[in-house]
Amino acid sequence: MTVRSKIILDCDPGHDDAVAILMAAVHPSLELAAITVSAGNQTLEKTARNALNVASASGRCANVPVAAGMSRPIVREQVTAGEIHGASGLDGPVFGPPEISLDPRHGVDLIIELLMASDGDITLVPTGPLTNVAAALRREPRIAPKIERVVLMGGTYQLGNVTPSAEFNIYADPEAAHIVFTCGRPIVMMGLDVTRKVRASADVIARVRSLGSSQAALFSEMMEFFAGTQKELYGWDSPPLHDPVTVAWLIDPGCVTLKEMKVEIELKSELCYGRTSCDFFGHCKGGRLTFDTSGALARPAGPNAQVAVDIDADRFWDILYDTFALYTK
Ligand code: BDR
Ligand code: CA
């Protein structure tokens, strides 16, 4: 019997978030308990609208609450990524009016409500800034032991994409990331180190489009726009598809290689603000994992995350293709 992972997808759509939503909505090994949305790639108003559009387009989210959460980072001023995702946050495809409306609950309240009512079997899957998860942890600390694990897209132990040091999701709310990385729950970090290795080439896009469903068409329309901005900004011939790595790993953990590390978030440096400092070589090893949860300077004493260090890109694309093949209309 296949065990289904129950997940809350916390996102800021975003082209790659949208692909993550489409995969999570349809795959039978995942139970999508909710989609919560934060500001990130664009303002909350826009990312929430995009989430509704994509959830509606999936045709699989009629019973999945979609709730808007935090509109601003915890401490820093807001940054968005319009140069990558366009003015709407999801430029490219044209959507009709969404069939789904926003859940009246605040996204942070919904995360708390679902976790508190759970048996500790919910995996949080953040693919945007960690503002909602951090706010939920601060608002209701009793949720921490209820979180089965956090499987997030964010960070890098190599080069950043928004500064030389930092990756966008962590840079957009480093203080929130600090709260999450010190919450004491298992963390799987899918950083740029692996997500940059999965590039949506013209062949990949054509293969998915050939499936013929409206969701496959949506995938290719989104990727065509995304390819243009990624090429302009970074010079890639094919755009890296960051966020769906989280969902692909939940479907088939064999596609990613993980390494245990101590990960800390840089909060004080001007040059490295928002960097995930990853102890790849284990310099800081030792000690049992202990967290001082009383103050902002809580630091993990030992490894606190499983960090992705490699990905089988062909296997990733097969997972994505097979998942989109589950859409029949
Ligand atoms: C991350 O930043 C966003 O622009 C993407 O949606 C992804 O979550 C990659 O750094
Ligand atoms: Ca994202």
Per-residue pLDDT of the chain (329 residues), as tens digits, is 457 899 999 999 999 999 999 999 999 999 999 999 999 999 999 999 999 999 999 999 999 999 999 999 999 999 999 999 999 999 999 999 999 999 999 999 999 999 999 999 999 999 999 999 999 999 999 999 999 999 999 999 999 999 999 999 999 999 999 999 999 999 999 999 999 999 999 999 999 999 999 999 999 999 999 999 999 999 999 999 999 999 999 999 999 999 999 999 999 999 999 999 999 988 776 544 455 555 545 566 789 999 999 999 999 999 999 999 999 96
The DSSP symbol for 269 reads -
35/46 Cα distance (integer angstroms):
15
pLDDT of 3: 72
Nearest ligand atom owner, CA of 12: 2
The gap from C-alpha 134 to its chain's centroid, in whole angstroms, comes to 14
173 a catalytic residue: no
Q: What's the confidence (pLDDT) of residue 287?
A: 46
Instruction: Report the half-sphere exposure of 286 (CA within 13 A, side-chain side).
Output: 2
**Within 13 A of 321's CA, how many CA atoms are on the CB side?**
16
Q: What is the pLDDT of residue 128?
A: 98
Q: Residue 235 CA to chain centroid, in angstroms?
A: 23
Q: Which of 12, 91, 109, 193 is labelled catalytic? A: 12
How far does residue 250's CA lie from ligand 2's centre (Å)? 17
Where helices occur in 147-263 by DSSP H, the ranges are: 168-171, 174-181, 192-195, 202-209, 214-234, 244-251
Whole-number pLDDT of residue 148: 98
End-to-end, the C-alpha distance of the chain in Å comes to 27
Q: Whose CA is nearest to atom 10 of ligand 1?
A: 168
Residues with CB under 6 Å of ligand 1 are 14, 16-17, 41, 81, 84, 127-128, 153, 161, 167-169, 242-243
Question: Vertex 325, ends 322 and 328: CA angle to 5°?
Answer: 160
**Residues 6+ away with beta carbon under 8 Å from 233:** 83, 84
Q: Are 168 and 126 in contact (CB under 8 A)?
A: no
pLDDT at 302: 83
Q: What are phi and psi of 229, to 5 degrees?
A: -75, -35
- Decide: helix, strand or coil at residue 243: coil
Atom nearest to 81 CA in ligand 1: 4
Decide yes or no: CATH 3.90.245.10 for domain 5-324: yes
The pLDDT assigned to 282 comes to 85
Characterize the bridge pairing of strands 30-37 and 5-11: parallel
Domain boundaries, the chain: 5-324
pLDDT at position 286 is: 53
Nearest to 155 by CA among 313, 279, 281, 49: 279
